[in-house]
């Protein structure tokens, strides 16, 4: 049996069918339908945030966030090289200049002490990532941003349900974005969200994701980033199962931790945050050991993933970037183990045995 790093969670199809019946009744398939509205309201309550806009993926959510922050072609954004490629590629796609700030070797998040040295007169924003759901130094980042009049955009794709000091992590930053891709903790098959405390800004985003239309008239430059009722329906089903999903993931996460904590180094988790059990990364001593382990696992049809590899400061389509040795080092020897609802203890025992 094939074991991948992730297996998308699927709810009871009967439950999904009930939502489909509603779509067939209303004939409202997309464009701000009732299920999308319901999902947004339920997500606001679940995540304890004021405004949330459901969009069609986490990548375009980032691009719209840059627009909302008023970023213009050529502006500089300081970001982390240790993330999924979309964190950087969206900046490049919007013709923004990336300036990489290296990471903390223990938390894997952008090292906020290094931040000030990267600020130039062209810097307009900071784009940190709560890597594997582990919150960044949000207070330090906020102070630096205020002092230098910079916007803060959090790529919070991994941070679904994370709280920091008993408050939603999404309360930090001017804007935060989420991904609801099938492989994420909570998903809508494809999807994402923009979270922003400023209600006027969310209204603006609502126009932008619908071609810039307001009362059917193109009022501002927009794009198509709406999501459909079928995707919202999946989200509504999965949101109902979140307690179960988290319980199962916690069991799997803790089992790995118990058996591997003495063999591997691991991410240092923020003591003020809760774990959402989204990923289980382990660090090898060097890349050679990682490659050997990966070969052993692959031979048994087990496919963990090298999240995140390569370090984004090494991308050949971003020649302007400055090197980040800590991120390059971590990226070369980190591996995320299979973690999903339905992963059996037998499978986990086999993975653990192959890693010892």
Ligand X SMILES: *Cc1c(COP(=O)(O)O)cnc(C)c1O
Q: How far is the CB of 155 from ligand X (least distance, A)?
A: 5
Complex with ligand X: residue 87 or 123, whichever CB lies closer = 87
Residue whose structure tokens are 């999308």 = 36
The smaller minimum CB distance to ligand X, of residues 86 and 152, is found at: 86
Q: Are 129 and 109 in contact (CB under 8 A)?
A: yes
d(CA 339, CA 251): 10
In angstroms, how far is CA 197 from the centroid of its own chain? Answer: 19
Residue 56 CB, nearest approach to ligand X (Å)? 8
Helix (H, G, I), strand (E, B) or coil at 123: strand
The smaller minimum CB distance to ligand X, of residues 281 and 348, is found at 281
Specify the residue for token string 């952008």. Answer: 110
| Binding stretches for ligand X (CB under 6 A) | 57-59, 83-84, 86-87, 129, 155, 157-158, 179, 181, 192
* Residues 199, 93 contacting (CB under 8 angstroms): no
59 or 321: CB nearest ligand X: 59
CA distance 196 to 177: 9
Query: Which residue has its beta carbon closest to ligand X?
Result: 58
Q: Nearer to ligand X by C-beta: 131 or 293?
A: 131
Give the nearest distance from C-beta 52 to ligand X in angstroms. 15
- In whole angstroms, the minimum distance from the beta carbon of 224 to ligand X comes to 15
The 3-class SS string of 122-148 reads CEEEEECECHHHCCCCHHHHHHHHHHH
Instruction: Give least dist CB 283 to ligand X, A.
Output: 19
- Minimum CB distance to ligand X, residue 294 (Å): 20
92 versus 347: smaller Cβ distance to ligand X: 92
Contact 193, 61 (CB under 8 A): yes
Given a contact cutoff of 8 angstroms between Cβ atoms, the answer to whether 285 and 174 are in contact is no
The answer to whether the peptide bond before residue 308 is cis (omega within 30 degrees of 0) is: yes
């Amino acid at each position: 049996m094939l074991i991948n790093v992730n297996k998308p969670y699927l709810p009871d199809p009967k439950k999904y069918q009930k939502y489909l019946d509603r779509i067939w009744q209303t004939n409202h398939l997309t464009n701000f339908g009732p299920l999308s509205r319901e999902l947004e309201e339920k997500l606001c309550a679940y995540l304890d945030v004021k405004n949330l806009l459901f969009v069609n993926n986490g990548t375009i959510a980032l691009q719209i966030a840059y627009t909302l922050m008023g970023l213009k072609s050529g502006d500089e954004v300081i970001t982390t090289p240790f993330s999924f490629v979309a964190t950087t590629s969206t900046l490049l796609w919007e013709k923004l200049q990336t300036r990489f700030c290296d990471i903390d070797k223990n938390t894997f998040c952008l090292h906020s002490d290094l931040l000030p040295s990267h600020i130039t007169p062209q810097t307009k924003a900071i784009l940190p990532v709560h890597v594997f759901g582990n919150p960044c130094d949000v207070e330090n980042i906020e102070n630096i941003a205020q002092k230098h009049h910079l916007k803060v955009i959090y790529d919070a794709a991994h941070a679904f349900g994370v709280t920091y000091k008993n408050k939603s992590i999404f309360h930090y930053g001017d804007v935060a974005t989420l991904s609801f891709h099938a492989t994420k903790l909570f998903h809508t098959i494809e999807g994402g969200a923009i979270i922003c405390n400023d209600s006027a800004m969310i209204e603006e985003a609502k126009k932008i994701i619908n071609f810039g239309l307001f009362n059917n008239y193109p009022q501002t430059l927009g794009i198509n980033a709406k999501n459909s009722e079928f995707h919202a329906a999946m989200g509504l089903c999965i949101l109902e199962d979140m307690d179960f999903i988290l319980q199962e993931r916690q069991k799997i996460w803790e089992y790995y931790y118990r058996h591997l904590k003495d063999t591997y180094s691991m991410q240092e988790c923020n003591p003020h945050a809760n774990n959402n059990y989204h990923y289980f990364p382990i660090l090898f001593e060097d890349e050679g050991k990682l490659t050997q382990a990966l070969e052993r696992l692959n031979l048994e049809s087990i496919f963990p993933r090298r999240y995140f590899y390569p370090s984004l400061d090494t991308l050949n389509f971003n020649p302007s970037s400055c090197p980040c040795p800590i991120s390059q080092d971590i990226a070369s020897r980190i591996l995320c183990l299979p973690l999903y609802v339905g992963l059996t203890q037998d499978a986990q025992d086999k993975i653990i045995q192959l890693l010892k």
